[in-house]
Amino acid sequence: MTHTVDFSTVSTAGLESSPVAAALAGLRANEARYFKNKYDHVFTVEAAPDAAETIDWVHRILSEERGIVIASRPLEATAFQVENLRMAYVFYENGLSINVMYALDESGKRAVGFKLSDGMEVPEELSSFKFARQKSKLAGTIRGSYFVIKNEY
């Protein structure tokens, strides 16, 4: 079942099993606010079992591009298109958010982004990445990193 992420009233619905549920909910709300403000897109998510195709696509890119396998359990995911960008997000139980930005034209930008919820440790599988910090009213301190996608998906 799909539900809309409300960035006015942050809710942990769907993320309750995370040890950093409030921070992860803030991170999810931060993404919802960004897409509403930039693209007038309403950010919706669905439970992981209902979003298997999206999760599989993200995991395939991680595996084929960098040999990364995420140890944490996915809780929710979403996939959508804004302008010429295919977007996918997966939110994990440990507080990790992974997004794929995939331009539909070959000359466009394609990247995988990682965001760590406030209070979570860097997962072992991402320990080789350097994380920059940013402040968010909704999510506290977000640590983020990314890599550029080289192949076609």
Strand blocks (E) in the chain: 2-4, 44-47, 74-82, 85-92, 96-103, 110-116, 132-136, 140-148
Token digits for 92? 């994990």
pLDDT greater than 90 at residue 76:
yes
Determine the average pLDDT of the residues in 60-69: 98
Strands 85-92 vs 2-4: parallel, antiparallel or unpaired: unpaired
pLDDT band at 106 (very low <50, low <70, confident <90, very high): confident
Mean predicted lDDT score pLDDT of the chain: 96
Q: How many CB atoms lie within 10 A of CB 45?
A: 25
pTM recorded for the entire structure: 0.96
pLDDT greater than 90 at residue 1:
no
